[in-house]
């Protein structure tokens, strides 16, 4: 069994759920979503809140992962290989040996169950990427996803109810940290605007870099068999329409736009420039 991991690294509110969903809709690919949260889902720990709009529900619509058609089969595979259940796997462990063992068990079982040769992890954070690269149980391609800083900061502002100042600084610092991380493995740089405005063109260019050819069914992602862990509300939608979120263009004053662009713009540009060095 051999597979590649596509790791989506991005800030929050940058389209990682959409990116993972489109990549995972290929017949030889599967999107796990954010596997570091698996234990919370397996132990039914999630209350419905603004952060976890769907509570313990699986993206397929089952009220929790034990009532879905997919995860119990993965659980059986993990049990057969290790004697442990998904409830016991610590895929977010700080201990490198436990992290490597438990993530390998999970990814191996998902690959065996789906037959996929590309497994998509949309966890976003650079720390998990670093741990996956260190664990080294499968080759990793980084998909470094950047959104226009105005759009990312405005989405954060709407959630937090605060002004743009801290969010813009956070955007700049985190984008810089991710750009540095992106140099540690093969990296594909991409933007939310590319994905959302021209999804077919984007898929046609990115799939061969991940070892697969574009399939038309990827554009019908809402009808694919989806069981990704976590992600934003859009993961459960039943219509494959993508709307580009332009609300920041009218929602931000010119002065705030200029400020965000001044603070964070150069780092978004740098991310793109660095990732294009062969
Ligand atoms: Zn499911």
* Alpha helices (H) in 136-253, listed in sequence order: 149-160, 164-181, 192-197, 199-206, 247-251
DSSP sequence for 87-131: TT--TT-SSHHHHHHHHHHHHHHHHHHH--SEEEEEEE-HHHHHH
> Number of folded domains in the chain?
1
Q: Ligand 1 centre and the CA of 37: distance in Å? A: 15
Q: Give the model confidence (pLDDT) of 108-148 as tens digits.
A: 999 999 999 999 999 999 999 999 999 999 999 999 999 99
Q: Ligand 1 centre and the CA of 32: distance in Å? A: 11
Whole-number percent of the chain with pLDDT over 70: 95
Instruction: Tell me what the pLDDT averaged over the chain comes to.
Output: 92
Q: 0.85 cut: is pTM over it?
A: yes
- Is pLDDT of 239 > 90? no
Q: Ligand 1 centre and the CA of 87: distance in Å? A: 16
Give the pLDDT score at 221. 86
Q: Ligand 1 centre and the CA of 182: distance in Å? A: 31
User: What average pLDDT does range 238-243 have in this prediction?
Assistant: 79
Q: Give the model confidence (pLDDT) of 177-205 as tens digits.
A: 999 888 788 999 999 999 999 999 999 99
Give the pLDDT score at 119. 98
Q: Ligand 1 centre and the CA of 181: distance in Å? A: 32
- 75 or 46: whose pLDDT is higher? 75
Q: Which residue is listed with tokens 């700080």?
A: 94
Q: Ligand 1 centre and the CA of 65: distance in Å? A: 6
Q: Give the model confidence (pLDDT) of 39-70 as tens digits.
A: 999 998 877 766 666 788 999 989 999 999 99
Q: Ligand 1 centre and the CA of 269: distance in Å? A: 38
d(CA 61, CA 65): 9
Q: Ligand 1 centre and the CA of 194: distance in Å? A: 29
Give the pLDDT score at 244. 85
Q: Ligand 1 centre and the CA of 70: distance in Å? A: 6
Q: Using DSSP, state whether 146 is helix, strand or coil.
A: strand
Which CATH number is 75's domain given?
A: 3.40.50.300
Q: Ligand 1 centre and the CA of 60: distance in Å? A: 4
d(CA 204, CA 216): 10
What band does 223 get if pLDDT is binned at 50, 70 and 90? confident
What band does 230 get if pLDDT is binned at 50, 70 and 90? confident
- 157 or 45: whose pLDDT is higher? 157
Give the pLDDT score at 105. 98
Q: Ligand 1 centre and the CA of 225: distance in Å? A: 8
Q: Ligand 1 centre and the CA of 233: distance in Å? A: 15
- Is pLDDT of 273 > 90? no
Q: Ligand 1 centre and the CA of 207: distance in Å? A: 25
Q: Ligand 1 centre and the CA of 239: distance in Å? A: 17
Q: Ligand 1 centre and the CA of 30: distance in Å? A: 12
d(CA 62, CA 193): 31
Pick the closest to residue 101 from 114, 115, 88, 118 (CA basis): 88
* Range(s) of the domain holding residue 202: 4-275
The DSSP 8-state label assigned to residue 161 in this structure reads -
Q: Ligand 1 centre and the CA of 102: distance in Å? A: 20
- Is pLDDT of 278 > 60? no
Q: Ligand 1 centre and the CA of 229: distance in Å? A: 9
Q: Are the CB atoms for 123 and 34 separated by under 8 Å?
A: yes
Q: Using DSSP, state whether 214 is helix, strand or coil.
A: coil
User: What average pLDDT does range 229-245 have in this prediction?
Assistant: 78
């Amino acid at each position: 069994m051999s597979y590649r991991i596509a790791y989506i690294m991005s800030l929050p509110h940058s389209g990682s759920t959409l990116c993972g969903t489109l990549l995972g809709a290929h017949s030889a690919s599967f999107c796990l979503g954010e596997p570091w949260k698996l234990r919370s889902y397996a132990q039914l720990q999630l209350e419905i809140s603004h952060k976890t709009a769907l509570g313990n529900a699986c993206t397929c619509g089952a009220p929790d992962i034990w009532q879905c058609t997919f995860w119990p089969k993965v659980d059986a595979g993990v049990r057969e290989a290790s004697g442990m259940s998904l409830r016991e796997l610590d895929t977010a462990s700080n201990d490198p040996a436990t992290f490597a063992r438990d993530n390998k068990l999970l990814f191996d079982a998902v690959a065996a169950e789906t037959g996929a040769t590309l497994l998509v992890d949309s966890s976003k954070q650079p720390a998990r990427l670093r741990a996956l690269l260190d664990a080294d149980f499968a080759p990793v391609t980084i998909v470094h996803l950047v959104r226009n800083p105005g759009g990312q900061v405005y989405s954060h502002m709407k959630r937090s109810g605060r002004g743009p100042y801290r969010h813009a600084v956070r955007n700049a610092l985190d984008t810089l940290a991710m750009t540095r991380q992106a140099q540690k493995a093969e990296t594909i740089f991409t933007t939310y605007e590319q994905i959302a405005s021209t999804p077919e063109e984007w898929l046609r260019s990115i799939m061969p870099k991940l070892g697969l050819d574009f399939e038309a069914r990827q554009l019908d992602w809402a009808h694919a068999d989806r069981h990704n862990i976590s992600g934003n509300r859009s993961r459960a939608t039943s219509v494959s329409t993508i709307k580009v979120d332009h609300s920041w263009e009218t929602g931000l004053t010119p002065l705030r736009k200029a400020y965000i662009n001044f603070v964070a713009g150069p780092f978004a540009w740098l991310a793109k420039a660095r990732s294009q060095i062969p």
